Amino acid sequence: MPKLFARNKKLLTSELPDGTLRCQALLDDDDQTIEVICIVTYPDLTIQEASCIMTRTPGRECLGARANVNKLVGLTIAHGYNKHVKQVLGGPSGCVHMVDLAIEIGHAAVQGKFKKMMGQQKSLTPAQRKKFWKDELKGQCRRYP
């Protein structure tokens, strides 16, 4: 069957020496390569810095959307984050792919936060860890209803 389209996405969260999280979301497909990078505070997940690299785009006019990524600075990744991202990065002067990547940054930051929290729980008993995660993920996860 002939290929019509292919896209890969990659998320990476790293901890910086000051304890902040560096979150990257990369989209690479047949037409474009775009990366959004944010520095996010821990544990509140507020975006301190944001940048966008457009290595390959369908057209030169796409490059103008990069400046919008600065509108993410100061935003906290919490309830309402996705809606705000769509408002500030979408629309006629925006880029639907940057919206997608910024939403993925939210997922990467939350996963990084959880991994960091898990590392800090080594001294807890299994029962204490289970209670913590049940409280943290209540109503959001089948494992912790």
> What is the pLDDT, as a whole number, of residue 118?
83
Tally Cβ neighbours within 10 Å of residue 34: 23
> What is the pLDDT, as a whole number, of residue 139?
85
Domain membership of residue 142 (yes or no) is: no
**Distance between CA atoms of residues 88 and 93, nearest Å:** 10
Domain membership of residue 2 (yes or no) is: no
**Distance between CA atoms of residues 140 and 35, nearest Å:** 28
- Position 84, amino acid: H
> What is the pLDDT, as a whole number, of residue 142?
86
Domain membership of residue 133 (yes or no) is: yes
* HSE, side-chain direction, 13 A CA sphere, residue 44: 7
Domain membership of residue 11 (yes or no) is: yes
Q: What parts of the chain have a pLDDT lower than 50?
A: none
> What is the pLDDT, as a whole number, of residue 104?
98
**Distance between CA atoms of residues 71 and 118, nearest Å:** 31
Comparing C-alpha atoms, which of 28, 73, 21 is closest to residue 54?
A: 28
> What is the pLDDT, as a whole number, of residue 42?
96
Domain membership of residue 53 (yes or no) is: yes
Domain membership of residue 145 (yes or no) is: no
Domain membership of residue 113 (yes or no) is: yes
> What is the pLDDT, as a whole number, of residue 127?
87
Per DSSP, which regions of the chain are E strands?
A: 7-15, 21-29, 33-40, 47-56
Domain tally, the chain: 1
Chain centroid, CA 142 distance in Å: 22
Residue 33's beta-bridge partner residues? 28, 56
Residue 114's domain comprises: 7-137
| 15, two tokens | 């901890």
Domain membership of residue 1 (yes or no) is: no
> What is the pLDDT, as a whole number, of residue 131?
85
